[in-house]
Amino acid sequence: MSTLKSTLDTTGPEYAAYREAMLAKLDELEAEHAKAVAGGGEKYTARHRERGKLLVRERIELLLDEDAPFLELSPLAGWGSDFRVGASVVTGIGVVSGVECMIIGNDPTVRGGASNPWTTRKIFRAADIALENRLPVINLVESGGADLPTQKEIFIPGGRLFRDLTRLSAAGIPTVALVFGNSTAGGAYVPGMSDYVVMIEERSKVFLGGPPLVKMATGEESDDEALGGAAMHARVSGLADYLARDEPDALRLGRRIVARLNWRKHGPAPAPATEPRYDPEELLGVVPEGLKVPFDPREVLARVVDGSEFDEFKPEYGNSLVTGWARVHGYPVGVLANARGILFSEESQKAAQFIQLANQTDTPLLFLHNTTGYMVGRDYEQGGIIKHGAMMINAVSNSKVPHLSVLIGASYGAGHYGMCGRAYDPRFLFAWPSAKSAVMGPQQLAGVLSIVARAAAESRGQPFDEAADTAMREAVEAQVEAESLPMFLSGRLYDDGVIDPRDTRTVLGLCLSAIHNNPVRGAQFDGTGFGVFRM
Amino acid sequence: MRLELIENLLVANRGEIALRVFRTCRDSGIGTVAVYSDADAGSPHVVAADAAVRLPGSAPADTYLRGDLIVKAATEAGADAVHPGYGFLSENAAFARAVLDAGLTWVGPGPEAIETMGSKVESKRRMAEAGVPVLPELDPDRVTEADLPVLVKASAGGGGRGMRIVRSLDGLAEAVEGAGAEAASAFGDPTVFCERYLETGRHIEVQVLADTHGTVWAVGERECSIQRRHQKVVEEAPSPLVDPAMRERLFTAARQAASAIGYVGAGTVEFLATADGEFFFLEMNTRLQVEHPVTECVTGLDLVALQLSVAEGAPLPPEPPQWTGHAIEVRLYAEDPTAGWRPQSGTLHAFAVPGVAAEFAVPARYGLRLDSGVTGGSVVGVHYDPMLAKVIAWGPDRAATARTLASALARARIHGVVTNRDLLVNVLRHPAFLAGETDTAFLGRHGLDTLAAPLAGERAVRLSALAAALAEAAHNRASATVLGGLPAGWRNVPSAPQRKAYAAGGAEYEVRYRHTRSGLRAEGHPEVALVAAHPDRVVLEVAGVRRTFDVGRYPGLVAVDSPLGPVSLTPLPRFTDPDAAVAAGSLLAPMPGTVVRVAVSAGDRVRAGEPLLWLEAMKMEHRIAAPADGVVTDLPVTAGQQVEQGAVLAVVSGSEERE
């Protein structure tokens, strides 16, 4: 057992400066989160309350076990778009009657809870997480259906919403719908496709077509209650399994339904956990502002993993990438963390070998990103950097153990892929406010464009407009910088959320626990294939 | 002289007195036999005895009042002597006779003495003859306005049962009838008599002890003036009223009383005294008294050991010992002083008095004595007297003793049942009590508003509710099956605090809190920081001062103890099950009991205040009256039916609904 020794100088000016920069970013993040919490704003919130209804987060708070944690996912969905931050839906993992569940709740204060393109993407992501990690799904339904002006972007892909529900059910993952209000037209298929449905007296309305549409379609005179009232569905159609008296009663019934799922996690239970020896508060001062200076990821691990204990693998080889074994909240993990940004051939091969070892022992992997990419240059190309990078990407792609990615610093170029970026389907991916991700750094990208333009001008024999080039470089730099920031990426659902560095251990512990609802198995090392390749 | 040594003693009683007698038996090497009703099958006195014999049933009339069964039990269990304790059959001459007839030793006075003193009318006559001062008896039929107020008493009574104060002549007949009925049910003898009622008197009694060789001790006096419903609440020795001259007169009268009837064993001669030292014979209790420990403390005697010794035929030393210090006893009852002293029942989840130096025995030096019939987990039932325990302090002087006792009571952990604890502490700390101004009107004069006020003030309740919520949160985390190691109530996007609500004293206390990175944030408690939270203990720093709160969590109850005062909280559920809701207009049983009589039928029209039915619990009849004019729409109970607390007894709907 090896205990990490921190050399972080928490009294120095650098630490103070880094910390201040991080706190400033956290303030910005908090302001954006507050927008999501504010939902449709004061006017619509007040109107909702006047109707005697609970806000979506109040519903979730009542649904959850008292004092249990709740990890909200994709809270910044829709950031930087024309839609409200949060995308009119709240998704997250919380404990209900002792069971980790995926909770999906429409926010009816935002355009009546209507779905826009970000809403559906956020719900798809939640459904993926539920399916991969075997989390029962609880839908808190109150939505006016599709946001009609954007129907072209959601109607066709949006069908997945209902497909996912029944596929979850088919995979043995129960789905529960608590219907708080309207769930009409396509929305009617959320309760329609759920295993358990609770409706609320005089509140829930579930029908394919309301009275005007029915009148238009068939000439039949009808009313809401007869077409889709809760009492009708509970007593006549049978669409509702439970008839709740009011909102709290519906949440009570939802909790009872989950209590009776007799849920059993299939993954191994965690070992007893000890807190890190170093204060997670100090994570605020680890990452250099601007990411120009490399930092030791062991300083992060010392404040995240159980007991600050870390058994490093191959410490003397390819040491721009740190690999080793640790535990987080009692769950074993293999860690891959960039140490000095660049991935060379040695680092790539070390990673490929380490990923195979983790698969051999069914150990989940944690990737801590701070990479500027694979090394370029003659010597490296001739040394086979493409082959070696490919080995690492191959190993990451075909690894079967659960992966967790945290972007703590840079995550540029193919390095983002090799370190299990979003496209490599980590079970969860979070970013620190200090993270940046793009095909390359903004200055490099602008510089490359400039060099290419200059070469083109030369080849055409035209004079090169230096002023225009400077303006172009500045504009491109600014754009790429903005588009590589975590809030922008989070808004586009390229991560599962931007987290406070001090919460890293808690977030990872919660995700690892969620992951262990399913068995944790690596790629097959069962005698039918090869052994671990020494590289 | 040949002594008949007792080898094996049956105690025909229950609770703390049985345990008290057993303690002496154990010290003397005497075997012990308990008897127990079904309700007491798991009680401490049964566990403590060498042998125990069941008395089938739970009602006293079926169990502890069944002399025949008890004598049979003694024979079967090989007992050679019977100690009656107090209450039940302790002053029943027929039982004493049955014990003696069975060839067993009776630890008590002879049946004739019991009979003489058992009749209040007869005893007063005999005492008057012997020169003991008495209040003249009045004939109920000849009571005039001038005699008022008068006291109607059951001749066979005791403990306040079958007793009525009459202040107007038109109430007299009803009082005589009621007292007679109560006496008949409690003692099997409806005889009552009247005497002048002294509005404010002082209850002074003298412990006597007489052997079979002619020695009669007046061991010392006790004052037991502070009473509720004619039952003693606070008792002390010596009395702050009695000076040496009065003491001499009291002791002489007590010895005269005992000698006049050839009394043998331990007994108590009770007097009613006026503030200027005049006193009248009330009655003689021919048994050990509940409050005997105060006398034991100041004299160092073991009165039960002396009872046994006298029963064995041994002589007393010529003189009783001198006194040392002051002793005060309080009776801790399961009752609610603010609700008409209504007896309480339920599970006593925890019972612990801090700093107890001795149990059922005199402490080696000044300190606390506890005589308790209950332990944590005991069930306080409806069948017997609701006294839980006696707490006795013995100290160098009265003020120090009162302080010790008040503090111990205030810090005691008593969870699950409402008690008179707060009242006792308030009495012991009251300036009038400390000044020795303790007459029988004490509680009435100072008022329950003051005396029964909770020890924990509003701020203490609010802090206790916060501590309860934090303890609950700690418990929730510790018992979580998943994610138990994560911070309590953690959110990456916080929107609302955790919420818990409690009811206490008719008010609702909502606690809203969040555990943040910089510590506890509790709404309405900006000055509070959390030092530590465990499921059973929470340490808060309140405006810079550390306070520790001990938290007991039980179904439907959170009991918080701290130096700020004990607080009982009822956790309010997050959700109400609609099935559990009760129809409006329902009258619920205020306590478990038996429906003795039903005056109405379903469909009857009733007026507000009209009695609908009577519920008997704790030997008292509780009238259930219509809350408003209306119609009895539901009446799910019948006479004789046993009901649980909270059971619907009747539903009265407003009359307009029917018309």
Q: Are residues B557 and B582 in the same domain?
A: no
Residues in chain B closer than 8 A to A265 (CB atoms):
482
Residue that terminates a domain, selected from B39, B74, B107: B107
CATH for A230: 3.90.226.10
| Interface mutation target, options A66, A246, A498, chain B, most CBs of B under 10 Å | A66
φ, ψ for residue B455 (rounded to 5)? -65, -35
Task: Please state whether beta strands B519-522 and B545-554 pair in parallel, antiparallel, or not at all (unpaired).
Answer: unpaired
φ, ψ for residue B13 (rounded to 5)? -160, -175
CA distances from B106 to B103, B213, B264, B309 (A): 9, 17, 11, 12
Q: How many domains does chain A have?
A: 3
For residue B189, being part of any structural domain is answered with: no
φ, ψ for residue A2 (rounded to 5)? -120, 125
Cβ atoms of residues B564 and B459 within 8 Å: yes
Distance from CA of A509 to the nearest CA of B (A): 8
Q: Are residues A48 and A146 in the same domain?
A: yes
pLDDT for position B358: 97
Complex ipTM value: 0.95
Which residue of B485, B498, B575 is in closest CB contact with A249? B575
Cβ of A67 within 8 Å of Cβ of B491? The answer is no
CA distances from A51 to A48, A203, A255 (A): 5, 10, 24
φ, ψ for residue A200 (rounded to 5)? -110, 130
Q: Does B518 touch chain A (CB under 8 A)?
A: no
Residues in chain A closer than 8 A to B500 (CB atoms):
66
Helical residues (DSSP H) of A178-246, grouped into ranges: 189-193, 211-218, 224-228, 230-232
Task: Please state whether beta strands A428-431 and A403-412 pair in parallel, antiparallel, or not at all (unpaired).
Answer: parallel
For residue B94, being part of any structural domain is answered with: yes
pLDDT tens digits along B264-297: 999 999 999 988 889 999 899 999 999 999 999 9
CA distances from B74 to B42, B59, B80, B308 (A): 20, 20, 7, 16
For residue A509, being part of any structural domain is answered with: yes
Distance from CA of B389 to the nearest CA of A (A): 38
Helix axes B111-118, B93-101, angle to 10 degrees: 170
pLDDT for position B548: 97
Three-state SS at A37: helix
For residue A33, being part of any structural domain is answered with: no
Q: Which residue of B has its CA nearest to A93?
A: B491
The residues of chain A scoring below 50 in pLDDT are none
For residue A31, being part of any structural domain is answered with: no
Note if the bond before B571 is cis, omega within 30 degrees: no
Residues in chain A closer than 8 A to B482 (CB atoms):
95, 98-100, 265, 513
pLDDT for position B505: 87
Cβ of B483 within 8 Å of Cβ of A510? The answer is yes
Distance from CA of A430 to the nearest CA of B (A): 12
Q: How many domains does chain B have?
A: 4
Q: Does B473 touch chain A (CB under 8 A)?
A: yes
Q: Are residues A120 and A244 in the same domain?
A: yes
Give the C-alpha separation, A337 to A512, whole Å: 18
**Beta-bridge partners for B625:** B611
Q: B253 Cβ partners below 8 Å, 6+ apart?
A: B131, B132, B133, B206, B269, B271, B279, B281
For residue A491, being part of any structural domain is answered with: no
Which residue of A67, A329, A503 is in closest CB contact with B489? A67
Cβ of A506 within 8 Å of Cβ of B490? The answer is yes
CA angle B300, B303, B306 (to 5 degrees): 110
Residue that terminates a domain, selected from A259, A285, A309: A259
Residue that terminates a domain, selected from B58, B82, B107: B107
Q: Which residue of A has its CA nearest to B487?
A: A69
For residue B400, being part of any structural domain is answered with: yes
Q: Are residues A127 and A205 in the same domain?
A: yes
Cβ of B473 within 8 Å of Cβ of A509? The answer is no
For residue B173, being part of any structural domain is answered with: no
Q: Are residues B442 and B361 in the same domain?
A: yes
For residue B129, being part of any structural domain is answered with: no
Give the C-alpha separation, A373 to A430, whole Å: 19
For residue A28, being part of any structural domain is answered with: no
Q: Are residues A234 and A285 in the same domain?
A: no
Q: Does B478 touch chain A (CB under 8 A)?
A: no
Q: Are residues A463 and A374 in the same domain?
A: no
Which residue of B483, B577, B578 is in closest CB contact with A69? B483
Q: Are residues B366 and B467 in the same domain?
A: no
Q: Are residues A163 and A275 in the same domain?
A: no
Q: Are residues A427 and A478 in the same domain?
A: no
Distance from CA of A274 to the nearest CA of B (A): 9
Q: Does A71 touch chain B (CB under 8 A)?
A: yes
Quick one: three-class SS letters along A492-520? CCCCCCECCHHHHHHHHHHHHHHHCCCCC
Give the C-alpha separation, B152 to B28, whole Å: 43
Q: Are residues B636 and B548 in the same domain?
A: no
Q: Which residue of A has its CA nearest to B491?
A: A70
Q: Are residues B320 and B219 in the same domain?
A: yes
Residues in chain B closer than 8 A to A281 (CB atoms):
517
Q: Are residues B248 and B316 in the same domain?
A: yes
Residues in chain B closer than 8 A to A248 (CB atoms):
574-576
Residues in chain A closer than 8 A to B468 (CB atoms):
none
Q: Are residues B349 and B214 in the same domain?
A: yes
A 10 A CB-CB count for A323 gives 24
Residue ranges making up the domain that contains A203: 38-259
Q: Are residues A101 and A218 in the same domain?
A: yes
Cβ of A509 within 8 Å of Cβ of B575? The answer is no
Cβ of B495 within 8 Å of Cβ of A265? The answer is no
pLDDT for position B645: 74
Residues in chain A closer than 8 A to B495 (CB atoms):
37, 57-58, 61
Cβ atoms of residues A326 and A302 within 8 Å: no
Cβ of A57 within 8 Å of Cβ of B495? The answer is yes
Residue B73 tokens read as: 């039990």
Cβ atoms of residues A257 and A509 within 8 Å: no
Q: Does B485 touch chain A (CB under 8 A)?
A: yes
Cβ of B492 within 8 Å of Cβ of A245? The answer is no
φ, ψ for residue A468 (rounded to 5)? -65, -35
Q: Are residues A163 and A296 in the same domain?
A: no
For residue A29, being part of any structural domain is answered with: no
Residue ranges making up the domain that contains B59: 8-107
Amino acid at A149: P
For residue A152, being part of any structural domain is answered with: yes
Q: Are residues A444 and A473 in the same domain?
A: yes
Q: Are residues A349 and A291 in the same domain?
A: yes
For residue B472, being part of any structural domain is answered with: yes
Distance from CA of B485 to the nearest CA of A (A): 7
Q: Are residues B441 and B478 in the same domain?
A: no
Give the C-alpha separation, B325 to A65, whole Å: 57
Q: Are residues B272 and B351 in the same domain?
A: yes
pLDDT for position B655: 46
The label of the residue with tokens 């007894």 reads B649
Residues in chain B closer than 8 A to A99 (CB atoms):
482
For residue A493, being part of any structural domain is answered with: no
Cβ of A67 within 8 Å of Cβ of B577? The answer is no
Cβ of A98 within 8 Å of Cβ of B486? The answer is no
For residue B383, being part of any structural domain is answered with: yes
Cβ atoms of residues B542 and B463 within 8 Å: yes
Q: Are residues B359 and B281 in the same domain?
A: yes
Give the C-alpha separation, B398 to A40, whole Å: 70
Cβ atoms of residues B535 and B553 within 8 Å: yes
φ, ψ for residue B514 (rounded to 5)? -140, 140
CATH for B23: 3.40.50.20
Residues in chain A closer than 8 A to B476 (CB atoms):
65-68
A 10 A CB-CB count for B237 gives 29
pLDDT tens digits along A7-56: 999 999 999 999 999 999 999 999 999 999 999 999 999 999 999 999 99
| Interface mutation target, options A30, A55, A67, chain B, most CBs of B under 10 Å | A67
Q: Are residues A72 and A172 in the same domain?
A: yes
Task: Please state whether beta strands B367-372 and B356-359 pair in parallel, antiparallel, or not at all (unpaired).
Answer: parallel
**DSSP assignment of A70-104:** EEEE-TTTTTTSSSPTTTTEEEEEEEETTEEEEEE
Q: Does A385 touch chain B (CB under 8 A)?
A: no
Q: Are residues B499 and B601 in the same domain?
A: no
CATH for B383: 3.30.470.20
Q: Does A50 touch chain B (CB under 8 A)?
A: no
Cβ atoms of residues A420 and A411 within 8 Å: no
Give the C-alpha separation, B225 to B203, whole Å: 5
Residue that terminates a domain, selected from B86, B107, B128: B107
Residues in chain A closer than 8 A to B489 (CB atoms):
67-69
Cβ atoms of residues B341 and B230 within 8 Å: no
Residue that terminates a domain, selected from A259, A280, A295: A259
Give the C-alpha separation, A423 to A483, whole Å: 17
Q: Are residues B530 and B608 in the same domain?
A: no
Distance from CA of B514 to the nearest CA of A (A): 9
For residue B228, being part of any structural domain is answered with: yes
Q: What is the pTM of this model?
A: 0.87
The residues of chain B scoring below 70 in pLDDT are 1-2, 157-160, 579-584, 619, 654-659
